[in-house]
């Protein structure tokens, strides 16, 4: 599991974390009906941080990052993204969403639009970028994820790994300051996982603030500056990756790590 990626050598000294706060979550609680999914979440993310969120399924990791761009609504507590508090005010929500990029497990590309149209849609309609400029930006990011030659195909014609890279490029076209990844490699074949992780590593090297829910522990070890372990809707443990993997403190974490790394 842990040796899935490795042929890229990351210069960790390049990965700078600033003092500026990007996301501040205070005492957040969320319920689905009677079920208490997120319990007293407190988390501060500084600009430039790469945080990997791990934990067993049903522990609330996805729900937590989906709260950050309001795909899920929290019922108690406070979330401040880039200085804007998430309330039910639609203007704030749209503003935050346009500044926070998100990649999903199932890509969620728009199948009726070409790759290029997928990438230019939001800049044109949300940012009001002129079409020509939007296309230039889109081609720039498609080159970055190494699929410029597929620009005029439809998502259904691409492989899973390519689709996920398009999804990343589509988010980047909005020039986000924060990227959220919700299990971006879970629906991919092993050989495609690497190409997506490589793209994510490149993003990290450029200083993007990233929150990744993932089971790729190799990626966590190599890229993350902080690993958060969640269970039963709570943050159980967080630490630097070395410390987290080699010397987990809580019993719940030890149990989890032994299960996923044990064989």
Partner 1 sequence: MSDTSYVRTEMLEQREPPASTVGVIGWARANLFSSALNSVLTLVALGFVAYILSALIPWTFQSVWNAESLSECREIMIATWGSTHGHACWAVINDRWLQMLYGFYPSHLYWRVNLALVLTLAALAPVLFSEKSPRQMIYLTLAYPFIMPWLMWGGSIWNPISAAVGFAIVFFGTRHLTAMTGSLIAIIASVIAALLWWMAISAPVVAGLSSVIPIGIETVQSREFGGFMLALLLGIVAIGVSLPIGILLALGRQSDLMIVKAICVGFIEFIRGVPLITLLFVASLLLNVFLPPGTNFDIILRVMIMMTLFSAAYMAEVIRGGLAALPKGQYEGADSLGLNYWQAQRLIIMPQALKISIPGIVSTFIGIFKDTTLVSIIGLLDVIGFSTAIRADANWNGIYWELFAFIAVLFFVVCFSMSRYSMYLERKLQTGHKR
Q: How far apart are CA 51 and CA 228, in angstroms?
A: 7
Residue 181: which H helix or E strand, with range? strand 178-182
196: exposed, middle or buried (C-beta count within 10 Å: 0-12, 13-18, 19+)?
buried
Q: Work out whether 209 is an interface residue with partner 1 (CB under 8 A).
A: no
Q: State residue 210 phi and psi, 5-degree precision.
A: -130, 140
Footprint of partner 1 on residues 136-195 (CB under 8 A)? 154, 156-157, 170-171, 174
Q: Work out whether 60 is an interface residue with partner 1 (CB under 8 A).
A: no
Per CB under 8 A, the list member of 10, 21, 121, 187 interacting with partner 1 is 121
Contacts of 143 (CB under 8 A, 6+ apart): none
Per CB under 8 A, the list member of 17, 71, 80, 187 interacting with partner 1 is 71
β-bridge partners, 44? 24
Q: Work out whether 1 is an interface residue with partner 1 (CB under 8 A).
A: no
Q: Work out whether 106 is an interface residue with partner 1 (CB under 8 A).
A: yes
Q: Work out whether 130 is an interface residue with partner 1 (CB under 8 A).
A: no
What's the closest the beta carbon of residue 176 comes to partner 1, in angstroms?
10
Per CB under 8 A, the list member of 20, 125, 131, 261 interacting with partner 1 is 125
Per CB under 8 A, the list member of 2, 82, 110, 234 interacting with partner 1 is 110
Q: How far apart are CA 179 and CA 157, in angstroms?
A: 26
Q: Would you mind telling me the total number of residues written for the chain in this entry? A: 263
Per CB under 8 A, the list member of 9, 33, 90, 262 interacting with partner 1 is 90
Asked if 249 and 30 count as a contact pair (C-beta separation under 8 A), the reply is: no
Q: Work out whether 102 is an interface residue with partner 1 (CB under 8 A).
A: yes
**Residue position matching structure tokens 């993350």:** 224
Site residues for partner 1 per CB under 8 A: 69-71, 90, 94-95, 97-102, 104, 106-112, 121-122, 125-126, 154, 156-157, 170-171, 174
């Amino acid at each position: 599991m842990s040796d899935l990626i490795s042929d890229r050598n990351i210069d960790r000294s390049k990965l700078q974390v600033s003092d500026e706060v990007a996301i501040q979550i205070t005492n957040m609680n969320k319920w689905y009906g009677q079920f208490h999914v997120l319990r007293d979440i407190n988390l501060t993310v500084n600009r430039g941080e790469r945080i990997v969120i791990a934990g067993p399924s049903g522990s609330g990791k996805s729900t937590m990052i989906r709260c950050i761009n309001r795909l899920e609504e929290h019922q108690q507590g406070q979330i401040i993204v880039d200085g804007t508090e998430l309330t039910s005010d639609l203007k704030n929500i749209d503003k935050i969403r346009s500044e926070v990029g998100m990649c999903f497990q199932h890509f969620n590309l728009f199948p009726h639009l070409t790759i290029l149209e997928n990438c230019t849609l939001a800049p044109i309609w949300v940012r009001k970028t002129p079409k020509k400029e939007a296309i230039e930006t889109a081609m720039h990011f498609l080159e970055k994820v190494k699929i410029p030659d597929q620009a005029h195909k439809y998502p259904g014609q691409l492989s899973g790994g390519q689709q996920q890279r398009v999804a990343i490029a589509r988010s980047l076209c909005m020039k986000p300051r924060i990227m959220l990844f919700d299990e971006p490699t879970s629906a991919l074949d092993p050989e495609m996982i690497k190409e997506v992780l490589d793209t994510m590593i490149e993003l990290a090297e450029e200083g993007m603030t990233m929150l990744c829910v993932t089971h790729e522990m190799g990626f966590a070890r190599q890229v993350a500056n902080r690993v958060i372990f969640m269970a039963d809707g709570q943050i159980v443990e967080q630490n630097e990756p070395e410390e987290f993997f080699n010397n987990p403190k809580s019993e719940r974490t030890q149990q989890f790590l032994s299960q996923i790394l044990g064989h």
